Amino acid sequence: MSFGVLRSILRQTLLGMARRFTTQWVVIACVAAMQSIFAATLLLTFNLDLLSDQWERGGDLLVFIKPGTTQTEYEQLSAMIQTWEEVENSSLKTPRDALKELQKSLDTDFLETGFDDSVLPATLEIEFSASTTDEEQLEIRAKLLQISEIDEVEAVTEGRGLLARLYELRELIAVWRWIIGAWVGLSVMFVFSQFVKLNLHQRRREVEVLSSVGATKTFILAPLLIEGALQAMLGSLSALWIVESVLSNQRVGSEMISDLLLFTPSPLSLRLSVTFILFSTLLGTIASWRAASLFLKGRE
Amino acid sequence: MRVQAFHLGHTYLPEHPVLHDISLDLSPGSLNYLIGPSGSGKSTLMKILFGDEPIQTGQALVGGWSLAHLTDKTRPYYRREVGFVYQDLRLLPAWTAEENVCLPLEAIGRSRRAQRSRAHELLHQVGLGHHLRTPVAQLSGGERQRVAIARALVHNPRFLLADEPTANLDPALSDGVIELLNEQRQRGVTLLISTHDHQLIKLFRSQVYEMRRGIISRHFTSQLGHREGESLSQGAGESSHV
Out of 3.40.50.2300, 3.50.50.60, 3.30.70.3040, 3.40.50.720, the CATH code matching A59-158 is: 3.30.70.3040
Q: What average pLDDT does range B186-202 have in this prediction?
A: 87
> If pLDDT is split at 50, 70 and 90, which confidence band does A123 have?
confident
The 10s digit of each residue's pLDDT in A19-50 is 888 888 888 898 898 888 888 888 888 887 77
Is the pLDDT confidence value at A107 over 60? no
User: pLDDT at position B229, please?
Assistant: 47
Chain A: give the shortest CA distance to residue B175, in Å. Answer: 25
Whole-number mean pLDDT of chain A?
78
Instruction: Provide CB contacts within 8 A for A14, sequence distance 6+.
Output: none
Closest-CA distance, B155 to chain A, in angstroms, reads 9
Sign of the C-alpha dihedral computed for residues B227, B230, B234 and B238 taken in this order? negative
The model's pLDDT over A82-94, given as tens digits with 9 standing for 90+, comes to 777 777 777 777 7
DSSP secondary-structure letter at A251?
H
By Cβ distance, the residue of A19, A205, A215 closest to B107 is: A215
| A216–B76 CB contact, under 8 Å | yes
pLDDT 10s digits, A226-269: 988 999 999 999 999 998 888 888 767 777 766 666 677 788 88
What pLDDT does residue B238 have?
31
Average pLDDT over residues A9-13: 89
In chain A, residues with a C-beta closer than 8 Å to the C-beta of B90 are: 205, 208-209, 212
In 3D, which of B41, B55, B57, B59 has the Cα closest to residue B3? Answer: B59
Q: What are phi and psi of B6, to 5 degrees?
A: -125, 115
**Number of A:B CB contacts under 8 A?**
61
Q: Which of B52, B86, B104 is facing A214, going by the closest CB pair?
A: B104
**Mean pLDDT across chain B, nearest whole number?**
86
The pLDDT tens digits of the residues spanning B111-143 come to 999 999 999 999 998 888 899 999 999 998 889
Checking if the pLDDT of B219 tops 70, the result is yes
- What is the predicted pLDDT for the residue at A249? 80
The whole-number average pLDDT for the span B173-198 is 86
Tell me which residues of chain B, numbers 91 to 110, contact chain A at a CB-CB cutoff of 8 Å: 91-92, 94, 103-104, 106-110
Q: What digits encode the pLDDT tens for the residues B70-117? A: 998 999 999 999 999 998 889 999 999 999 999 999 998 899 999 999
Q: What sign does the CA torsion over B73, B74, B80, B83 have?
A: negative
Instruction: Look at residue B233 and tell me whether its pLDDT is greater than 60.
Output: no
Cα dihedral A79, A80, A82, A84, rounded to 10, equals 160
- How far apart CA A23 and CA A231 sit, in angstroms, is 11
Interface of B with A in 65-94 (CB under 8 A): 72-73, 76-77, 79-80, 84, 86, 90-92, 94
**Edge-to-edge order in the sheet of strand B31-35:** B82-85, B159-163, B190-195, B31-35, B207-212, B215-221
Inter-chain CB proximity B104 and A3 less than 8 Å:
no
| A300/B111 CB distance under 8 A | no
pLDDT the model gives residue B241: 31
Neighbours of A182 (CB within 10 A): 11
Mean pLDDT of A286-291: 86
Q: How far apart are CA A93 and CA A152, in angstroms?
A: 14
Tell me whether A298 touches chain B (CB under 8 Å): no
Global ipTM: 0.81
| CB proximity list for A280: less than 8 A, separation 6 or greater | A31, A35, A188, A232, A233, A235, A236
Yes or no, beta carbons of A4 and B104 under 8 Å apart:
no
pLDDT of res. B157: 93
Question: Could you tell me the residue ranges of all domains in chain B?
Answer: 3-239
Q: Which of residues 61-90 of A touch B (CB under 8 A)?
A: none
Q: Which residues contact A237 (CB under 8 A, 6 or more apart)?
A: A277
* Portion 216-235 of A in contact with B at CB < 8 A: 216-217, 219
- The shortest C-alpha distance from A197 to chain B (Å) reads 19
What is the domain partition of chain A in residue ranges?
A: 3-54+164-299, 59-158
**Which CATH topology does B3-239 take?**
Rossmann fold (3.40.50)
Q: Which residue of A has its CA nearest to B94?
A: A19
Cα–Cα distance, A20 to A81 (Å, whole number): 74
Q: State the pLDDT confidence band at B236, using cuts at 50, 70 and 90.
A: very low
